[in-house]
Structure 1
Amino acid sequence: MTATARDCRLEILSPGPLATVQDLGRPGWSHLGVSASGAADPDSLALANRLIGNPENTAAIEATWGGLRIRLHCRHRNGTPSATYIALTGAPCPATVNGRPVALNGPIPLNDTDTLALGTPQRGLRTYLAIRGGLQPPPALGSRSTDLLSGTGPAPLQPGTHLPVGPPTAAMPGVDLAPRNPPPQEFTLRVWPGPRDDWFDTTSLNTLFTAQWQATNHTNRIGIRIEGPTLIRTRNTELPAEGMVPGALQVPPNGKPVLFLTDHPVTGGYPVIAVVHHTDLPLAGQIPPGAHIRFRPHHNPPT
């Protein structure tokens, strides 16, 4: 299904609510004000790449809330039509190629001029489309990820965008299906208390771990504003700006937490009551607006 001498590209017909190019990010630049960015659900992106013989860090499309439509243009250098494979992972949603349903979590053959369309996810928020050989827009600071906060990397995808596809670098793995559980309806995230949990009274700390919270419509790759009980500070002094990390649960003066995700700011001036365990960050990246969230304490120190 592939050829070594060919020209392939993906044409964006519709990006849906938001579609961006993502890989596993650009760590090491926070001292210059640039977060690592990368896929909000890196586990799903890595799986999509493995299913079609790409390195895990290969750039793919992150589609938010479905609606993505793309067309493949793929021809041998002599002008004859060619073909390739794609894979879809992450938030499960209806998907069709030329109107015929296709399944997630396995390789999907795609021929020249074929059109893929995604519906709205039934669970979760972000679906990943990887193509054999990977997307190759120009890199920025060593990554092809779109960072919405800093503006680093490719612009969010628009109708008419054409994304070049690289040549395959390894054989197909021969896997037909990699079954995965869908994202839950209620999300439970493990968190490390602190570093500023001492800025809150005991009742607020107990509330953080016992209340049911809800993601609001103010949700994007930067973070999620969360609705629920008001967390009460015991200090009213100003906090100097300090470093932020993905998963930081920051509490502004209104007492309503904000959960920072992959395009988070690198510093912040409000106290962070807790930080999501790094292994739960891919799950946090799938929280849709309206979903219920619970936080559970994880007391082992980070490694």
Structure 2
Amino acid sequence: MNGRLQRLSSLFRWIAGPLLAVLAGWHWGPWGFVGVLLLFVVGPALAMLPGFLILRFIPPAPGLPVAPMGDLLQAWWREVVVVTRVFSWQQPWAEHQEPDYLPPPEQARGRRGVVLLHGYSCNRGLWNGWMRELRRRGIPFIAVTQEPAFGSIDRYAPVVDRAMRTLQDHTGLPPLIVAHSMGGLSARAWWRSVGHPQDRVHRILTLGTPHHGTLLARLGTTENAKQMRGDGEWLNQLARDEAGRWADHFDCLYGHCDQIVFPAETAVLPGARVLHLRARGHLQLVFEPQAFERALTLLEEPALSRAA
């Protein structure tokens, strides 16, 4: 369903744009055709720009930098590129281009695997680049699509649990979770649903996850968007259930140019290790080499004590 919705949206954009340009050309001549076509080509990029510029006026926590204008403009342009790639190709048309990788048991045993969790309104196609590189390195992985796309985050726990159990049964080791945005909350909700056992997960690397909510969620109307409101009961209950017992399992990668999860400090859990990136937008965090390198490092780290 997630991929089908994105395919319909992609088709509408690429069919409606040229069609309206032809109609404009018929009514207003060549300049009308060119003007409407340009609007469909550059309009989405221009529509993204205010989301970055507003970050100049949202003060971060003490000690964190206000994003310089140059960083915001760099982040905006990088984000335009990756958003176009992800929402025009990877997710609508290449969601299943890269299958999960479970090598033969004799190769997989003792080789820690990775579960990849996407964020809001995305699907597993987001991770195509990661999946190709993990397969090249012989690292087992499962990337899930969390559905229903706009349902409760708690409803994603069973599919996460299946992926975690499959990889652990196949390799003999608890997997690493790498999660973008809402996916980090899915990971936390899953761990709560199974009682926070220390032997079910190795580490959790979150990329731009709204651990403490995001101001943008106040505009959301879907159930999972409302759950990402910082003053909402869902996030507050999640934190109470955890009681700060296992933040040492987390690495939080974030940036001060994130136009979706802000203020910047909302993407960091107290007690977690933190990696801060400059001039990177929200989706760009997935494509950042430092994110993949951190995941490789975490795969090699020793297991934490069960008493942690």
Q: Is TM (by shorter chain) over 0.5? A: no
Answer 1 or 2: higher relative contact order, Cα 8 Å, separation at least 6: 1
Provide the TM-score with structure 2 as the length reference.
0.24
Which one has the bigger strand percentage?
1
Which one has the bigger helix percentage?
2
